[in-house]
Structure 1
Amino acid sequence: MISADDLIALIRTYNPKTNADMIADAFAFGAEMHDGQFRHSGEPYFTHPVAVAAILAEQQMDDATVITALLHDTIEDTKATYAEVEKRFSKEIADLVDGVTKLTNLQLNSSETKQAENFRKLFMATSRDLRVTLVKLADRLHNMRTIKSMRPQKQAQKARETMDIYAPLAGRMGMQWMREELEDLAFRVLNPEGRNSIIRRFITLQKETGDVVEKIQADMELEMDKAGLSVDIYGRAKKPYSIWRKMQEKEQGFSRLSDIYGFRVITQSDADCYAALGAIHQRWAAVPGRFKDYISQPKTNGYRSLHTTVSGRDGKRVEVQIRTVEMHEVAEAGVAAHWSYREGVRVENRFAVDPARWIAQLSERLDEDHDHDEFLDMVKLEMYQDQVFCFTPKGDVIKLPRGATPIDFAYAIHTRIGHACVGAKVDGIRVPLWTRVKNGQSVEVITAEGQTPQATWTDIAVTGRAKTAIRRALREEDRERFIRLGRELVRVSFENIGKEVTNKALKTAGKSLGLSNVDDLLERVGAAEITSREVVSAVFPDLAKSVGNEIEARRAVIGLSPDQSHSRAQCCQPIPGERIVGITSRGEGVVVHAIDCEVLVNYEDQPERWIDIHWQEGTHSVTNTITLELTITNDAGVLGRICSVIGEHDANISDLVFVDRKPDYFRLLMDVDLRDTEHMHIIMNALEVDSNVASVARHRDPERAGKVQRRS
């Protein structure tokens, strides 16, 4: 552990005006509070806060951030209080320490929903002061550097969190060096054999070819001297995890990977960047499609650089990044560049873009009603993006993540444009909406009045903004559809008891069921969360028995012993009037299958489990659920008419799912509760007569073989 004097000396290398007394006081206070506490490794616990402070000092952070690092666990793990920290240091430092404490309490776990909620809170907290996140990242970095002292299970958990959350967050903050180190440390835990295999290949390659990096660097320095450019050149082999990821993405072995070496050329001016690029391209052949100009089109985190890949010495591909000293500071320090010092004075780097703006924009888009998983998807998409730049017909630049489509482009312009999108032209040519746009292309969005988002768009869109807008619109559309469907279901149920549906009756039912308004009640009915019988029962409890399928079950199958119960297999959904067979099942009694069920082939070699059974003759009062697959025209009133037809034939709709939506047709699965085969054929014939029903058929699903409907 470094001493207080060593830490102060480190800070003075970039900030001679540091408040050394306050740094020393924070060091002493932290040591006192953590006295007697130890880490898993057996070291005094205070070695950890000191190491975190040193990491931030190496990034040339301000005094408040370094002091926060020294104290970041005091409120959480010691007797120190917020008031004590505020009184002894300052409100700014107390708020920062409190912010880190709150982030520490947001422990991520294997539950995706909880992880999403933690992620939401993390960003809400980050939007108040970005330095909280910087301390948390440094905290995670030191914990990963010393992770070997933890239990293997805990190591794996922390490594997964680091790979999923902290590493991409560091990259999004522009701190690429930290992202690479976090990824490599996590990779060491999650896949040690994979990492070691790459390191072994590097050692073998170096024995065969010598120090390739040193040779290529010398070649580049020679070309820069010829061009009269004063530059600094740094070369290195890429990190093991970076190479592993390329191997997975390209589905190639190590021997086939070419761009495993990277070089940085640091120039004195913007003009020198382009001059250096010209010198490199004159000396080596550029690889087509691998040039990116992030100087004229910077990334949203302020990153600027020229990227190119060339065939270097012995035909080996090498990646080259060319940038100025100021650009390099932002590329290395990311958000920390906002606190950079030069000659002891805080200076503003003209290329540094505050990522707090990105986080603030993200926070503004948070709607408390959003689905947690949806939010997590959106955040991950935002963080992992690698941008492309497209143009509107007027020449405005739209930034999108790699792999984005015209749908993303439309929503990037305005949500209203996205909702109304019906097509797109790329460079003047009409293309499908799932087309992946590329750098420099011009995109024109074609809109139409009355168009609404399609469910398939969520699979086409890439950006979090587009996906969120589409899902919100679909939810609103589903609500309207469920309300219409619920109104029809309730109307039919009321007619079955000779009553008329009135707004007053619906209000009474809603109040009885704990719902605030009629639309909420109808939406619940349409979404099959509440049955129409429950609505009728809330108003006319004595008449409700004649509605729906909730009649007490009786034994309907002949051939069972008195102690045997039976249940309907959901793979074939047998109903009275069909030939059936029983299969004995542990825990389920006898499972009844239709004689032509595909699943029965699985029991051909188990004849002892087969039972000869048949339905009891006569009228069955017990209703049974079957699934119908319908294709209907996308016209107003069609779905309501279908529901009315089913209700008029004394059947009940218990569930309805749209499986495909097209501009002209809908395909849906509808669960209908009916008595027997005769009842089923009457309903199917009535539906087929409707000119807006293209097809109706019984739907059976062998994948549901393990599910049953209990009867007795």
Structure 2
Amino acid sequence: MSAVRSLRKLGRAALLGPSPRHALPDAIEHVAKAHRAHHPGADLDILRRAYVLAEYSHRGQTRKSGEPYITHPLAVTLILAELGAETTTLTASLLHDTVEDTDVTLEQVRAEFGEEVGYLVDGVTKLEKVDYGAAAEPETFRKMLVATGNDVRVMSIKLADRLHNMRTLGVMRPEKQARIARVTRDVLIPLAERLGVQALKTELEDLVFAVLHPEEYARTRELIRDHNAGADPLAEIAESVRAVLREADIAAEVLIRPRHFLSVHRARAKRGELGPCDFGRLLILVAENADCYAVLGELHTCFTPMMSEFKDFIAVPKFNLYQSLHTAVADTAGRVAEVLVRTRRMHRVAEAGVIALGDPHRTSGAPHADPVGEAAAADDGRADPTRPGWLERLLEWQSHAPDPDTFWAELRDDLAQDREITVFCTDPGGPGRTAALHLPAGATCVDAAYARYGAAGHALVGARVDGRLAALGTVLRDGDSLQLLMAPEGTSGPSPQWLEHARTPTARIAIRTWLDACAEDGGPAEGERTEGTGGEARTAPPAATRASLHPPAAAAAASAAEPDAPGRAVQPRDRSAAVVGLPGALVRLARCCTPVPPDAVVGFAVRGGAVTVHRKGCPTVARMTAAGRETVTVRWQDSGAGCRVTLHAESLSRPHLLADLTEAIAAEGAAVVSAEVEPPREHRVRHTYTLWLEDAGELPRLMRAMREVPGVYDVVRATRTQP
């Protein structure tokens, strides 16, 4: 009722007309008083001029309630003034409906009040339904969010505007009330939460609760009414806390903070029947950060702490700038009270959020600079706390939303994510290229790829999380170290399964756009098939995954090779590549480890006077030495002779990997004798290549070149385990 009486008083003042020139009109005395409380030195003349223009331009207009229309911009401005908004915001708030609903033009506003005020008024001005039809509402919000990206005061005015409209929603038809309440619930309340404006958010939640769930609201109202009829046990606990803090010589203000309607309803749904201490929380306000922890120490010493309820949002602030210590303690009677501990600066930021930060374009030292806002920005560690990470992401993906319906649906989904994580993404290119990615809770490696690279995220083929290979759908946790493995641009792309992994609109819109383009082009090329392994896309030949290639050099090597088991790489005899201390001995390179220069090698004499040469690290060497076999000294000679070697390439499944690897091998001058690709397992695939090198000394460089192929995470020499 107090809000209604205040509106009627403002309405009567508006009907009396403006006061004499240069005098502050009576109708804005409430606004001026609230504004002076936060900004004692503010110049009120611009507010007077804004009110005079607004009152004149809206004169003769009435609201659905019958009140003069000017009562609405006055009430919106009062809401903002009480939250500590600076003068420019209040000026724009008084004028926020003039361009939309009167003959005043945006050019007039800019000429009279400056570019900043003009920008804010333009930002909250709705798009015409005549021009946009059913798309007017989503496109208006899109326009408003883009404007908010440059100046968050646009959204501050919109939130206050919606709060006053929700307060006076009762004069609307029930179906219109429900429609407005749903948009408020799905869009405006999450925005208020993300911008940290808790004072507006909690009241909006209660007003929406009353409209959309009238029966539950009525039951909750009765519960609160019955509770308020008796003595509040929190008052007794609060007095005990005050006594403890006085004895500890800690200056603190201890208040009882009642839960709002929706909070009571949620607590009842979670806990069942509520106890007498469940209808509110204790709020303890102190001067400095250190005092918060001193209070916490006393509470946990003199009362019984409920450690499961402890949260430190001072050391780790929420993504909306919120800071407080949360705990719960039980007194000697076993009554449990939830407690919030914060400084007075933290309290102001918790209530007013970005409104407490003032002008986002203000430089330090500017007139009426807001030290509270500057401290909040510095403590949060962001270069610009008025343009947080979630807003950056929203502005990015909305520019790619192809139509209003997609934008509207994705906006609601995006805003439903109410927590943010930070992961540290290191580019494969080398050290010193680490970026902090701010993502919504529940984001996956797919989301990280599109957040990091935009549309180039299509090339994602794998990821390492904290050094371990991870599936693309792996849900990331706060603080994870991430490395994204990318294919060359244009060689890979997402599959429909990626949509199951994507949590962010940035990723979903990019994936859908790519898939739609593929559908228009007729899908994968003829002779190829697109396969998905755990959500990964890859294009593979339709035939078996085994290939045998015989370029001239490979054919020559094959002709000199010994017969071996089917499908196995064969190893030729080589009488000039190694020499031993046995003159005339026949030298044979072991097939189990395929040694080549400059490997450290050792030999074993075998029947027929031959010597078999193994790499020193070969398991066969350890087994034969343990069995008492004597070794033969072996060394390589500089003959420049070619050799045959078998390599395993461990990689992540992606399209065209076989072609890229063989191209890299050919570029190093090696010939592929045979290639075998095993079926993928958990996103991973092994390629086995038998190669002929004209110069064995080129093997290390060849292996490095293969490792540099995107998707390949290791290349090793083949070692066959002997029975």
Q: TM-score, normalised by structure 2?
A: 0.58
Q: How does 1:627-706 map to 2 (within 5 A)?
A: 636-638=540-542
Shift of 1:87: 3.8
User: Match of 2:162, as an amino acid?
Assistant: R
Are residues 1:420 and 2:442 paired? no
User: Match of 1:145, as an amino acid?
Assistant: R
Q: How does 1:124-135 map to 2 (within 5 A)?
A: 124-135=146-157
> Which residue of the partner structure matches residue 313 of structure 2?
294
The 8 Å contact of residues 421 and 445 in structure 1, kept in 2 or not, is answered as no
The 8 Å contact of residues 425 and 483 in structure 2, kept in 1 or not, is answered as no
The 8 Å contact of residues 425 and 484 in structure 2, kept in 1 or not, is answered as no
Distance 1:104 1:168, change over 3 A: farther
> Which residue of the partner structure matches residue 54 of structure 1?
78
Shift of 1:371: 5.6
The 8 Å contact of residues 26 and 71 in structure 1, kept in 2 or not, is answered as yes
Partner residue of 1:455 out of 461, 471, 496: 496
Are residues 1:216 and 2:237 paired? yes
The 8 Å contact of residues 88 and 117 in structure 2, kept in 1 or not, is answered as yes
Shift of 1:211: 0.3
> Which residue of the partner structure matches residue 235 of structure 1?
256
Partner residue of 1:323 out of 342, 354, 364: 342
Partner residue of 2:415 out of 376, 383, 401: 383
> Which residue of the partner structure matches residue 157 of structure 1?
179
SS in 2 for 1:274: helix
Shift of 1:179: 0.6
Distance 1:305 1:106, change over 3 A: farther
> Which residue of the partner structure matches residue 296 of structure 2?
277
Shift of 1:134: 1.7
Distance 1:117 1:410, change over 3 A: same
Q: Greater shift after overlay, 446-455 or 164-173? A: 446-455
Write the deviation string for residues 600-642 of structure 1: whole angstroms up to 9, x where unpaired: xxxxxxxxxxxxxxxxxxxxxxxxxxxxxxxxx9763549xxx
> Which residue of the partner structure matches residue 27 of structure 1?
51
Distance 1:316 1:189, change over 3 A: farther
* C-alpha distance in structure 2 between counterparts of 1:202 and 1:234, whole Å: 18
> Which residue of the partner structure matches residue 650 of structure 1?
none
Identical-residue share of aligned pairs (%): 34
> Which residue of the partner structure matches residue 593 of structure 2?
none
Partner residue of 1:347 out of 370, 377, 389: 370
* Structure number with bigger Rg: 2
Write the deviation string for residues 251-280 of structure 1: whole angstroms up to 9, x where unpaired: x64449996533332222222222222222
SS in 1 for 2:254: strand
Distance 1:26 1:386, change over 3 A: closer
User: Match of 1:456, as an amino acid?
Assistant: Q
Shift of 1:182: 0.8
* C-alpha distance in structure 2 between counterparts of 1:187 and 1:142, whole Å: 16
> Which residue of the partner structure matches residue 210 of structure 2?
188
* C-alpha distance in structure 2 between counterparts of 1:246 and 1:454, whole Å: 42
Shift of 1:166: 1.4
Write the deviation string for residues 172-229 of structure 1: whole angstroms up to 9, x where unpaired: 1110110111111111111121111112223344557x30332332233233234332
Partner residue of 1:14 out of 38, 47, 71: 38
The 8 Å contact of residues 303 and 329 in structure 2, kept in 1 or not, is answered as yes
Q: How does 1:582-593 map to 2 (within 5 A)?
A: none
User: Match of 2:385, as an amino acid?
Assistant: D
Partner residue of 1:73 out of 79, 87, 97: 97
Write the deviation string for residues 51-73 of structure 1: whole angstroms up to 9, x where unpaired: 11211221222222222222222
Are residues 1:356 and 2:379 paired? no
Shift of 1:303: 2.3
Distance 1:369 1:23, change over 3 A: closer
The 8 Å contact of residues 234 and 277 in structure 2, kept in 1 or not, is answered as no
* C-alpha distance in structure 1 between counterparts of 2:465 and 2:116, whole Å: 52
Distance 1:145 1:12, change over 3 A: same
SS in 1 for 2:239: helix
SS in 2 for 1:484: coil
User: Match of 2:145, as an amino acid?
Assistant: F
> Which residue of the partner structure matches residue 560 of structure 1?
none
Shift of 1:104: 8.5
* C-alpha distance in structure 2 between counterparts of 1:24 and 1:38, whole Å: 21
> Which residue of the partner structure matches residue 591 of structure 2?
none
Q: How does 1:432-471 map to 2 (within 5 A)?
A: 442=480, 447=485, 453-468=494-509, 470-471=511-512
Partner residue of 1:333 out of 332, 348, 352: 352
> Which residue of the partner structure matches residue 174 of structure 1?
196
* C-alpha distance in structure 1 between counterparts of 2:276 and 2:501, whole Å: 30
SS in 2 for 1:320: strand
Shift of 1:420: 3.4
> Which residue of the partner structure matches residue 222 of structure 2?
200
Shift of 1:412: 5.7
User: Match of 2:369, as an amino acid?
Assistant: R
* C-alpha distance in structure 1 between counterparts of 2:478 and 2:49, whole Å: 53
Write the deviation string for residues 25-51 of structure 1: whole angstroms up to 9, x where unpaired: 322222222222211111111111111
Distance 1:414 1:283, change over 3 A: farther
Q: Greater shift after overlay, 318-327 or 333-342? A: 333-342
Q: Greater shift after overlay, 174-183 or 464-473? A: 464-473
Distance 1:444 1:69, change over 3 A: closer
The 8 Å contact of residues 198 and 240 in structure 1, kept in 2 or not, is answered as yes
* C-alpha distance in structure 2 between counterparts of 1:198 and 1:186, whole Å: 14
> Which residue of the partner structure matches residue 266 of structure 1?
285
User: Match of 2:208, as an amino acid?
Assistant: A
The 8 Å contact of residues 267 and 324 in structure 1, kept in 2 or not, is answered as yes
Shift of 1:144: 1.1
C-alpha RMSD of the superposition:
4.3
> Which residue of the partner structure matches residue 22 of structure 2?
none
The 8 Å contact of residues 262 and 318 in structure 1, kept in 2 or not, is answered as yes
Structure 1: where are the runs of 5+ without partners?
A: 489-525, 527-632, 640-661, 666-691, 693-712
* C-alpha distance in structure 2 between counterparts of 1:140 and 1:107, whole Å: 23
Shift of 1:407: 5.1
Write the deviation string for residues 520-572 of structure 1: whole angstroms up to 9, x where unpaired: xxxxxx9xxxxxxxxxxxxxxxxxxxxxxxxxxxxxxxxxxxxxxxxxxxxxx
* C-alpha distance in structure 1 between counterparts of 2:330 and 2:351, whole Å: 26
Q: Greater shift after overlay, 355-364 or 264-273? A: 355-364
Write the deviation string for residues 371-392 of structure 1: whole angstroms up to 9, x where unpaired: 6555445434543444365665
User: Match of 2:317, as an amino acid?
Assistant: P
User: Match of 1:235, as an amino acid?
Assistant: I
* C-alpha distance in structure 2 between counterparts of 1:432 and 1:257, whole Å: 49
* C-alpha distance in structure 2 between counterparts of 1:177 and 1:452, whole Å: 45
The 8 Å contact of residues 325 and 341 in structure 2, kept in 1 or not, is answered as yes
Distance 1:290 1:10, change over 3 A: closer
Q: Greater shift after overlay, 473-482 or 45-54? A: 473-482
* C-alpha distance in structure 1 between counterparts of 2:187 and 2:338, whole Å: 27
* C-alpha distance in structure 2 between counterparts of 1:107 and 1:270, whole Å: 53
SS in 1 for 2:376: coil
User: Match of 1:223, as an amino acid?
Assistant: V
> Which residue of the partner structure matches residue 166 of structure 2?
144
Shift of 1:80: 2.3
* C-alpha distance in structure 2 between counterparts of 1:238 and 1:176, whole Å: 13
The 8 Å contact of residues 213 and 237 in structure 1, kept in 2 or not, is answered as no
Distance 1:116 1:393, change over 3 A: closer
